[in-house]
Structure 1
Amino acid sequence: MLVVAALRWVDQRASVDGLTGEVRTDARDSGPSAADQAALEHAVRLKESLGGRCLAVTVGPAEAEEMLRDALALGADEVLRVDGPAATVTEDGSETARLLLDAVPERPDIVVCGDHSADRGTGSTPAFLAHRLGACQALGLLELGVVEGKLQAVRRLDGGRRERLSFGTPAVCSVEPADTVLRRASLPATLAARKAEIPVAHVGELHPKAGVSQPYRPRPRALPGPEGAEPHQRVLALTGALVERTPPKVLRPGSPAEAAQELLQYLREHGYAE
């Protein structure tokens, strides 16, 4: 029984340039999200219940190996890094799923993922994994375990409801953090993981879809500057403090017909009606 924990290495504190839209990331702030930590915990529990192996795998650069070393210390039997770039917003999840499954040496029985990634939150990669594996897919799981040899799960529904699921393998499960807390690694396991060699698979390149639709942004309109030689004069011109205005008038017409007549009179005075 092979249980795969599909982890995503993302920057938890990415910043965006307000003018160019460029996303700036820092490897020191990068790692698994809370959903991916829950996925790793569930994967380790499943391999302990089923007596199988747990493989933690990710697509990312060399900096992502730190996350895999932590997975080894926390109970994963094997780890694998698929050589690839950091997450890109033009990738819809299909290419990540392809690289993950091409790199895994054998067909997994269970794949556990986070329900959404911290960088995009689309949650589409588990669906592409299930499609390529021809496996059933369980979404939004709060609990995941094994009862009498079958997978049992509790799924979140709208309106605060819950749904209990029972399904077999192969299966792709996407879990929510909920109350799942990642276990703490022991000191000997942590020290051993620091010295472990991380296997790297080169199975191809990430080919994101060309062209990203951008929202329409009209060009800014050039406006003339305020008149006035002195700063206070320009402030008065901008605020309109010295411009004569028609004071507001409060009307209390006695009937709907009188109210309609007042409204029509106002429209005629301002050129909206004849």
Structure 2
Amino acid sequence: MAESLMPLIVALLRWTDARARIDPLSGEVETDPRGAGPSEADRCALEHALRIAEAAGGRCAAVTLAPEPAEEMLRDALACGADAVLRVDVPSWDSRVPDSGATTARALAHAIRTELGEPSLVLTGDHSADRGTGSTPAFLAAELGCAQALGLVELSYADGELLALRRLDRGRRERLAVPLPAVCSVEPAGVRLRRAALPSTLAARRAEIPVVAGAVAAEPVTAHAARPFRPRAKELPPPPEADPRLRLLRLTGAHEHREPPRVVVTDDPAEAADELLEYLRGKGYL
């Protein structure tokens, strides 16, 4: 992969508290910046970005859209070998407001293009630990106008080609040749983020983290009606009796004859099959 084809590989990191606490009375979510950081899927994405950048001779950049405490996460990315980092600063918004990921992807795409240049490959985790929708990579691919390959378990670069393996239903796998530029999301499988060396860690602690302003607007939601959920009532035929007591007995089925359950214990498979077939015939299934 020539440098002109892939000069920039971007790993997007989501800063979130994996041990958030929820108030059982109010439903408020309490987070602690000291326990926040990237998810395992995001760490896996960063490791893939570092490996592909080394194989392609390109640059690896780690980007996050988060408040100031997330800069420690970016310093860890620098210590692991990232060539550049960028934090997109946005004002805090109500986490209870629905967010499809479109506005987040728009802010990230604008910041990456403005500060780092046109990316050839963007890697993310398959879903974030706080919302878990996994829709931001798809919106980001639409913003950048490039291909997308989501939910990958393997990602490698060989002979000028980006190869991927995606998990499918029923244990199947799908091998992909991903055209560039592209946005890929990876599952936390197959690789682990490398351990940073002590000199790199010390140097990253003194590095200056570039910050740009971003804008993430909450998506409007229109509430047409607000009412508690009530399941549909079960419709029953009216009882023919006029006596209220008999009508209540008919509705509850208290005096109806019911066949007691049977427990059949046998070591003979043929006998067990005959008992099952006889039961199904008696119920009208056969």
Give the TM-score band, short-chain normalised.
Answer: 0.7 to 0.9
**Hey, what does 2:21 align to over in structure 1?**
15
Deviations 1:101-124 (A, max 9, x none): 111121110000000000011000
**Shift in alpha-carbon separation, 1:29–1:216, aligned structure 2, 3 A:** farther
Is it true that 1:57 corresponds to 2:63 in the alignment?
yes
- 1:94 and 1:269 map into 2 onto residues whose CA distance is 56
**What is the RMSD computed on CA atoms of the aligned residues?**
2.2
**Shift in alpha-carbon separation, 1:18–1:146, aligned structure 2, 3 A:** same
**Are the aligned partners of 1:141 and 1:175 in contact in 2 as well (CA < 8 Å)?**
yes
- 2:210 and 2:222 map into 1 onto residues whose CA distance is 33
Is it true that 1:270 corresponds to 2:280 in the alignment?
no
**Shift in alpha-carbon separation, 1:120–1:212, aligned structure 2, 3 A:** farther
- 1:133 and 1:98 map into 2 onto residues whose CA distance is 9
How far residue 194 of structure 1 moved from its aligned partner, in angstroms, is: 0.3
Aligned residues: 226
Amino acid of the structure 1 residue aligned with 2:219: K
- 1:110 and 1:158 map into 2 onto residues whose CA distance is 26
Give the SS at the match of 1:270: helix
How far residue 160 of structure 1 moved from its aligned partner, in angstroms, is: 0.9
Moved segments of 4+, more than 6 Å: 212-215
Percent identity between the two aligned chains: 58
- 2:12 and 2:206 map into 1 onto residues whose CA distance is 22
How far residue 126 of structure 1 moved from its aligned partner, in angstroms, is: 0.1
Is it true that 1:101 corresponds to 2:84 in the alignment?
no
Deviations 1:135-194 (A, max 9, x none): 111011111011211100111001111111002210000000012111000000000000
Deviations 1:4-56 (A, max 9, x none): 00110001111112222211111011000000000100011110011000110
Amino acid of the structure 2 residue aligned with 1:136: A
Give the SS at the match of 2:106: helix
**Shift in alpha-carbon separation, 1:187–1:208, aligned structure 2, 3 A:** same
- Gaps spanning 5+ residues in structure 2: where? 1-6, 231-244, 254-286
**Shift in alpha-carbon separation, 1:269–1:206, aligned structure 2, 3 A:** closer
Deviations 1:182-239 (A, max 9, x none): 1000000000000000000113x210113387995469xxxxxxxxxxxxxxxxxxxx
Is it true that 1:46 corresponds to 2:56 in the alignment?
no
Give the SS at the match of 1:143: strand
**Hey, what does 1:162 align to over in structure 2?**
173
- 1:189 and 1:149 map into 2 onto residues whose CA distance is 30
- Gaps spanning 5+ residues in structure 1: where? 220-265
**Shift in alpha-carbon separation, 1:216–1:141, aligned structure 2, 3 A:** farther
- 2:87 and 2:174 map into 1 onto residues whose CA distance is 35
**TM-score normalised by L of structure 2:** 0.74
Alignment of 1:1-274 (within 5 A): 1-85=7-91, 88-89=95-96, 90-104=98-112, 105=115, 106-203=117-214, 205-211=215-221, 217=228, 270=249, 272=251
Amino acid of the structure 1 residue aligned with 2:157: V
Amino acid of the structure 1 residue aligned with 2:36: S
- 1:178 and 1:267 map into 2 onto residues whose CA distance is 64
**TM-score normalised by L of structure 1:** 0.77
